[in-house]
Structure 1
């Protein structure tokens, strides 16, 4: 089994998170953002939002390299304050299919169950064409809740539906 550990992200991880997200975004379908849209400001915003009631975790290989990252933020409107949203997960292409994504999600779900104030829901969106991700999310307990036709426009102009998925925590 590949050796890695999942731990909370720290400010020292910012540069490695930036590099990871850019690598993943270079692969078509890897992330919704294009590599040039992944900036130090984007990473700083994601880390700050996660620190303000959300979660930010990294997977670190035994050699110290970052092989995955996941972050989610808590909604700020009181009615929705039990919801974690704007979830993004990135797994290094060389580590995909080796359990990193599943481990990040399991740790995120466990952290959400222990959060204070309590979290009652985690939500995410994924492209309709990303069937592998949908299967992973369903195995983890997320359910398809809807479809947003034509929400994504690829660089070639092709439209793609977004699939809305959610998980209610007990």
Structure 2
């Protein structure tokens, strides 16, 4: 696990294309994954957030996680719009957990101003919701009918948040 660099953009693009090809793999559809999208979030997260990549023994990027601040001072303590992508062939092998644990560790140890991390999960993705809960995220709300689901029906978007524990505050 390491911090992402702009030079990782092509590898991250390939990762997102592969993940988006799996129904429900990402919120974005395959045609919404563009080099511009990747460069935009990478620049934003490197500059005002956090992006990490997981690299296998062969040097291949097999996962990426990122979140950034929204730009308003009142929310300066929040990393939002967290997105994680793990290559389909590497899922269920611990890469996602390692990425997330490292992400939270970097926030806790190196970003004392960050007190909250936010993400969303479609209600049908119960496996992901359980995973996020195991990492300390709590379901905080439900946006009814917000997501046009994989099966062609509308489903709820579950809003989840992680709060810095008082013991880890400076």
Indicate the TM-score class for this superposition, using the shorter chain for normalisation: over 0.9
Residue in 1 aligned with 2:156?
A: 161
Separation of aligned partners in 1, 2:124 and 2:139: 14
2:49 is aligned with 1:54: yes
Q: Give the C-alpha shift of residue 53 in structure 1.
A: 2.0
Separation of aligned partners in 2, 1:28 and 1:155: 6
Alignment counterpart, residue 65 of structure 1, candidates 57, 60, 63: 60
Residue in 2 aligned with 1:134?
A: 129
Alignment counterpart, residue 28 of structure 1, candidates 23, 31, 35: 23
Q: Give the C-alpha shift of residue 12 in structure 1.
A: 1.5
Q: Give the C-alpha shift of residue 49 in structure 1.
A: 1.2
Unaligned runs of 5+ in 2: 166-170
CA distance 1:95–1:161, change in 2 (3 Å)? same
Task: Determine helix, strand or coil for the equivalent of 1:52.
Answer: helix
* Stretches of 4+ aligned residues off by more than 2 angstroms: 114-117, 154-157
Separation of aligned partners in 2, 1:13 and 1:103: 19
**TM-score under structure 2 length normalisation:** 0.93
After superposition, the C-alpha distances for 1:94-148 in whole angstroms (9 at most, x for unaligned) are 1100110011111111111134461000000000000110011000000000111
Separation of aligned partners in 2, 1:38 and 1:115: 30
Separation of aligned partners in 2, 1:143 and 1:44: 30
Unaligned runs of 5+ in 1: 1-5
2:77 is aligned with 1:91: no
2:8 is aligned with 1:13: yes
Separation of aligned partners in 2, 1:154 and 1:142: 23
Residue in 2 aligned with 1:149?
A: 144
Separation of aligned partners in 2, 1:59 and 1:109: 14
